[in-house]
Amino acid sequence: MTDASELLALALDIAKEAGDLARRRRSEGVAIAATKSAIADIVTEADREVEDLIRGRLAAERPGDGFLGEESGAERGTSGITWVVDPIDGTVNYAYGIPHYAVSIAAVEGEPDPQQWSALAGVVYAPAVDETFSAATGEGAWLEGRRLEVSEPSAAGALLATGFGYDPATHEGDLGRLARVMPLARDVRRAGAASLDLAYVAASRLDGYFERGLNPWDHAAGALLVEEAGGRVAGRPGERPSTLMTIAAASDLHQRISDVIYV
């Protein structure tokens, strides 16, 4: 039996070191290393360097664990635990000098597939503001010593966040969903880092969040934060979060968002 608190302690330590490196590299200037799935989907030298740091530390401290990272790919382990890592979530913000980006690290058990895994521990660390959101299964979600709880929207409507994928072909569908969700909203944010959108739902800085096109490393840690803060995270009806859809909110709002997205 793996102790989720031990995994969380390690994730916290590594996320801090990784975030410090990302912040330092940002202050020195950012170089775009390559484009990925689309011309707007970029990777910086810092993304690669930060992921190498995280991967190297995990390999040294837990050599039997698997790894699934945004920049360096997947490797199966032997322990049943996989680390799911986005070294810099919000890369476009990072490249433009917008301080809304995060290191996201989750430890999951079971098949390294969000439809099948159980998340054990998760950390979303925002280095530019030095904020650490963390959760371990059954132990709640926390921000700097404060236990987090998802919010219920007020009569003014829900403060919602969403995102738009890098592939222009998907934007018409994204905008159609946004138009259908809009009547539930008091306002909508598109801040540019999915892990922080989820962390903010956990911290009741947002009432809800939905987005199509996320990768496992975008939501692995953030989804655990929301669940441990009493919220619900799911994908398409009856499914867990996936590339096809991720919705996070308190249960009632979650249902209302899902109802209008899937009319």
Alpha-carbon distance values, 212 to 4, 153, 246 (Å): 29, 22, 6
The stretch near ligand IPD (CB under 6 A) out of 23-31, 121-129, 172-180, 212-220 is 212-220
Closest distance of CB 70 from ligand IPD, Å: 6
Among 218, 221, 222, 253, binds ligand IPD (CB under 6 A): 218
> Is residue 90 close enough to count as binding ligand IPD by CB under 6 A?
yes
Burial of 176 (0-12, 13-18, 19+ CB in 10 A): exposed
- Smaller CB separation from ligand IPD, 211 or 227: 211
227 is a contact residue toward ligand IPD (CB under 6 A): no
Stretch that binds ligand IPD, among 25-33, 176-184, 213-221, 228-236 (CB under 6 A): 213-221
**Of the candidate residues 19, 192, 231, 241, the single one contacting ligand IPD (CB under 6 A):** 192
> From the list 163, 216, 222, 231, which residue makes contact with ligand IPD (rule: CB under 6 A)?
163
Residue count, binding to ligand IPD (CB under 6 A): 14
Distance CA 55, CA 10 (A): 12
Does residue 112 contact residue 66 with C-beta atoms inside 8 Å? yes
- What are the residues facing 143 on neighbouring strands? 133, 146
- Amino acid identity at 167: D
C-alpha distance from residue 144 to each of 95, 124, 133, 223 (Å): 27, 12, 7, 18
At 180, which amino acid appears?
Answer: R
Minimum CB separation from ligand IPD for residue 80, in Å?
26
Distance between CA atoms of residues 97 and 184, nearest Å: 32
Residues lying near ligand IPD in the complex (CB under 6 A) are found at: 70, 86, 89-91, 163, 165, 192-194, 211, 213-214, 218
